[in-house]
Amino acid sequence: MNIKKLCEMLLPVLAVPITIILGYIIRRIIFGRLTSWSKHTKTQIDDIIISAVKGPFIIWALILGIYIAIEFSVLPENVIDIAHKVLLVLIVLSVTLVLANLSVKLIKTYSSKFEVALPVTSLTQNVSRVVIFAVGILIILKSLKIDITPILATLGVGGLAVALALQDTFSNFFAGFHIIASKQIRIGDYVKLDSGEEGYVTDITWRTTKIKMLPNNVVLIPNEKLIKVIVTNYYLPDKELAVLVNVGVHYNSDLQKVEKVTCEVAKEVMKNVQGGVQEFQPFIRYHTFADFSINFTVILRAKEFVDQYLIKHEFIKRLHKRFAQEGIIIPYPIRAINYEQEEAKNITGI
């Protein structure tokens, strides 16, 4: 056996491992330098691209090695043709997968920085993946010289039947897009439904909207029902909200002093308690001559919905202590009987 024939036999066998080793060395050198370079840049696009391409690089090296092995092999033409088509499909699928993951990561990274039409949710991420994969499949069919017209016609007829069978599913699907596009309910918002459920919106999927309640439970609301109920969004137009605390004082109280002391305590709470809006000036409004007290409302302000609980907690503790020091009485629920009036009734017979 001469050397030429020996090389022709060994080259297809050695092509795959040699290509993989070279690919690993190239990836280690090139991507190591690219990673070091990306650390000194301000944008995150280069980091995302490097991370997305680095993984499948060895797979592409493997495909290249198989292609070289096939080219130098003595396989029949029909087998080589089939192998070329399989490799083409693998390349297109791997590139499609990289582009799909790349698009999702870019959307995640930059959607929070820019006001976009469709915020990031499971629904928008999955739709972007589906669109890219659909384009990849069309490219594969086109490369394999498969006529897609009959396929599209079949999908059209079959799609109509599926749409009728999955009417509720599609209703939730398009309702989810309406929720996202309207921006009235967004990921991270604190909302309350008219049925009583309330919590943070954690995700909007193709079928349901996930709401995480304060007790750490998750409520799944069908998208179609969510657009039909009354929803209070505590994060619109902004997160800050008024915190109202009702208080009552004795009728003998000096109301001017009560107002002064209450506002001093409220200002202290705004400045020192986490979640309070420091620049806000608290105030009170008297509103009721009640049965046993003169009632008023203290108006404070919280940075977001859940901050109100700690603010109320600290305010009530500090106000109770300060009222005790100032001699301001918060009366118990009592009823006083006017005996002179009752005697007058008995005398006159009224």
| Assigned token pair, 321 | 């202590």
Asked whether residue 109 is assigned to any structural domain, the reply reads: yes
Alpha-carbon span 335 to 187, nearest angstrom: 51
pLDDT at 103: 76
Question: Model's pTM, two decimal places?
Answer: 0.60
Asked whether residue 60 is assigned to any structural domain, the reply reads: yes
**What's the one-letter identity of residue 172?**
N
pLDDT tens, the chain, 350 aa long: 455 555 556 666 677 787 878 878 888 888 777 777 777 777 777 777 777 777 777 787 877 887 777 777 777 777 777 777 888 888 888 888 887 777 777 766 666 554 455 566 666 677 777 777 777 777 777 777 776 666 666 656 555 555 555 567 778 888 888 888 788 888 889 999 988 899 999 988 888 999 999 999 999 999 989 988 999 999 988 999 999 999 999 999 999 999 999 999 999 999 999 999 999 999 999 999 998 899 999 999 999 999 999 999 999 999 999 999 999 999 887 666 666 655 655 555 55
* Burial category of 31 from C-beta neighbours within 10 Å (exposed 0-12, middle 13-18, buried 19 and up): middle
Q: Order of strands, edge to edge, in the sheet holding 283-289? A: 241-249, 294-302, 283-289
Asked whether residue 56 is assigned to any structural domain, the reply reads: yes
Domain membership of residue 259 as a residue range: 241-326
pLDDT at 153: 62
User: Measured between alpha carbons, how far is residue 115 from residues 42, 45, 245 in Å?
Assistant: 20, 18, 36
| Assigned token pair, 233 | 């969004």
Residues 121 and 192 in one domain: no
Q: Using an 8 Å Cβ cutoff, are 211 and 199 in contact?
A: yes
Asked whether residue 220 is assigned to any structural domain, the reply reads: yes
Asked whether residue 348 is assigned to any structural domain, the reply reads: no
**Domain termination site, one of 213, 233, 253:** 233
| Number of domains present in the structure of the chain | 3
Q: Using an 8 Å Cβ cutoff, are 158 and 164 in contact?
A: no
User: Measured between alpha carbons, how far is residue 78 from residues 74, 75, 144, 172, 322 in Å?
Assistant: 12, 8, 14, 49, 93
**What's the one-letter identity of residue 91?**
I
